[in-house]
Structure 1
Amino acid sequence: MTEPVMQLKNLKKTIGKKPIIKGLDFDIYGGEVFGFLGPNGAGKTTTIRMMVGLIGMTEGDVIIKGHSVRNDFKDAIRHVGGIVENPEMYPFMSGWKNLLHYSRMIPGVTKERIEEVVRLVGLEGRMKDKVGKYSLGMRQRLGIAQALLHNPSVLILDEPTNGLDPSGIREIRAYIRRLAEEEGVAVIVSSHILSEMEMMCDRIGIIKNGELISIQTVNEALQQTDKKEVSIEAEPVEEAKAALDELTDTKTVLAKEQLTLTIEKEDIPRVIAGLVAKNINIYSVNVNRSTLEDKFLDLIGEGKIE
């Protein structure tokens, strides 16, 4: 595998005597979208703030392109772009003037680079308009353009789809995927919307009480459950329910002529064969796909999602 562009090494944060972040270790690679999930108070925002040097670390380090955030902040942070919470823009200035203003803070950003990032986020037709007239989705896209001006290797987006309508969410998701795949940027995303993370991310890290409890690809996360929820359409339905109760030690729920039960994957053929043996007509069998939300709640063990 290629060298990671960002490494968290035993990252800890203690406030007073209370440990907030308890030794995080993971790597982020170029060209991937890494989702950062956790319930309320898990420590996601604290971790992101330490990654970009907004708050100090108690112990450990963040290494970006070989440079330590702790000991070599200036060289480390030049490889990072980010939006933590909402992008702040000057509403009385045009989109173009906003980007021009920010570009003056960064040595070597050319007019060509500004035009390139504008094309990348699809705002070519609206750069002369004042930002005060932009929709929330357009402001988010302009914020991403601003964060990309200096060609960062790592882009950190805290809640990039917050407050957007469904079409805005879809657009931002497409830009994030494009950045990773075409620009080779490592994108770190935290979000409330688990279904969006499922469609957007390559890998997911789940944090709880300041500890990393799981880190895996989205496909692994969705395939690792042993039990499957199965929906069966069969007749006579009452006889089918009685047969399922005999064949399994799980509860079968009957609703709208559908029988639903949760069983081990390898038991599905035996259960269907048992129904057939009892002369029950089977019209459909559906294995309901588990979602990232199911996986998340299995791991966290609580209903709160930040």
Structure 2
Amino acid sequence: MANAAIELVNLKKTIGKKEIIKGLSFSIQPGEVFGFIGPNGAGKTTTIRMMVGLISITEGDVLIQGNSIKTDFKKAIREVGAIVENPEMYPFMTGWQNLKHYARMMPGVTKERMQEVVKLMGLEKPIHERAGKYSLGMRQRLGIAQALLHKPSVLILDEPTNGLDPAGIREMREHIRKLAKEQNVAIIISSHLLSEIEQMCDRIGIIKNGKLIKLQQVGEVENDNLLHHLKVAPMDQAKQILNEQLQLEAVELDGNLSFRCKKEQIPKIITCMVENNCAIYQITTANGSLEDQFFALIGENTIE
């Protein structure tokens, strides 16, 4: 895609005889917050390392603002800012001194730009205090400010809310959304907090065994496997109807019968219950959260 901030083109990584990353292809647009999730060992970290040139690409390419990481590394990487978990900084220096030290390494970073990122990350008050006194949330924000100094097109955040309390998580979420909107930067977030990914991101990509198995807008609900809860009596008879007559696997859960089916099947289920003299008190549909979808796709309960 011509206007993509970053694009993965049939990206592959082989170590020895084992193919770790198996042909990933997707693009992320300017101003988009993209969640990159998957189970342990799925290949998220390997993919991110290839995206920023930390490990070599076996096949395919990563294009950042149209520039290849393989053939034009300096030009491509100039467009990237990144922060991995807890950012490291000099604790005996103030936040401003840390920013200034980093700015010296990047050509063209002005004092005005430093002031801009400080304001953007809400660090006006603590910026002249020693970084050693900063809370984890403040250190995270200063780390992101450092990563933004050179006006990157792509910002990669690995576990940006890791270790933060609920207030810090909410604050970080608001800053990330603000960054994407005001700076028009493409933000890639790798996190194990699925509820946070759901609230922060516009789109998600789920990776498993080195393959991209799902790419979708956040809040997009699959229509073919929705979870329904039916409050009905007599329950044993209703369960038998669902299992045997309608070929739906129903289980008793918290006084309800729970089962999965397409929403178009619900009228038939209700009709069938009424015809068999079952009293229906309530039927509800689960909201299809990202966590539900994730585990339905992955079939595991462990993610990085």
Relative to the length of structure 1, the TM-score reads 0.91
8 Å CA contact 1:240–1:275 kept in 2: the answer is no
Structure 2 match to 1:168: 168
- Equivalent pairs counted in the alignment come to 301
Cα–Cα, structure 1 residues 302 and 86, in superposed 2: closer, same or farther, change >3 Å?
A: same
Structure 1 match to 2:247: 249
d(CA) in 2 for partners of 1:2, 1:166: 39
Structure 2 match to 1:285: 283
Structure 2 match to 1:112: 112
Amino acid at match of 2:52: V
- Say which is worse superposed, 190-199 or 57-66, in terms of deviation: 57-66
8 Å CA contact 1:244–1:271 kept in 2: the answer is no
Amino acid at match of 1:243: A
8 Å CA contact 1:179–1:185 kept in 2: the answer is yes
8 Å CA contact 1:13–1:59 kept in 2: the answer is yes
CA drift at 1:183: 1.5
CA drift at 1:187: 0.4
d(CA) in 2 for partners of 1:208, 1:201: 19
d(CA) in 1 for partners of 2:74, 2:8: 17
Structure 2 match to 1:269: 267
1:226 paired with 2:221, answer no
d(CA) in 1 for partners of 2:76, 2:253: 57
d(CA) in 1 for partners of 2:141, 2:133: 14
Structure 2 match to 1:188: 188
8 Å CA contact 2:80–2:153 kept in 1: the answer is yes
8 Å CA contact 1:8–1:26 kept in 2: the answer is yes
SS in structure 1 at match of 2:219: helix
Q: What pairs up with 1:67-78 in 2 under 5 angstroms?
A: 67-78=67-78
RMSD, aligned CA: 2.0
Q: What pairs up with 1:35-184 in 2 under 5 angstroms?
A: 35-184=35-184
8 Å CA contact 2:223–2:263 kept in 1: the answer is no
SS in structure 2 at match of 1:261: strand
8 Å CA contact 2:109–2:149 kept in 1: the answer is yes
Identical counterparts, % of pairs: 61
Cα–Cα, structure 1 residues 43 and 206, in superposed 2: closer, same or farther, change >3 Å?
A: same
8 Å CA contact 2:159–2:190 kept in 1: the answer is yes
Structure 1 match to 2:217: 217
Where does structure 1 lack aligned partners over 5 or more consecutive residues? none
CA drift at 1:204: 1.2
1:40-73 CA-partner distances (Å, limit 9, x unpaired): 1111111111111112222222111121111111
8 Å CA contact 1:95–1:126 kept in 2: the answer is yes
SS in structure 2 at match of 1:53: coil
d(CA) in 1 for partners of 2:268, 2:142: 56
d(CA) in 2 for partners of 1:251, 1:290: 18
Where does structure 2 lack aligned partners over 5 or more consecutive residues? none
Structure 2 match to 1:299: 297
Q: What pairs up with 1:23-42 in 2 under 5 angstroms?
A: 23-42=23-42
d(CA) in 2 for partners of 1:43, 1:84: 16
8 Å CA contact 1:2–1:29 kept in 2: the answer is no
CA drift at 1:256: 4.2
d(CA) in 1 for partners of 2:118, 2:236: 59
8 Å CA contact 1:103–1:109 kept in 2: the answer is yes
Amino acid at match of 2:283: V
CA drift at 1:155: 0.3
d(CA) in 2 for partners of 1:19, 1:244: 46
Relative to the length of structure 2, the TM-score reads 0.91
d(CA) in 2 for partners of 1:258, 1:243: 10
Amino acid at match of 2:133: K
8 Å CA contact 2:238–2:278 kept in 1: the answer is no
d(CA) in 2 for partners of 1:27, 1:263: 32
Cα–Cα, structure 1 residues 27 and 263, in superposed 2: closer, same or farther, change >3 Å?
A: closer
Amino acid at match of 2:94: S
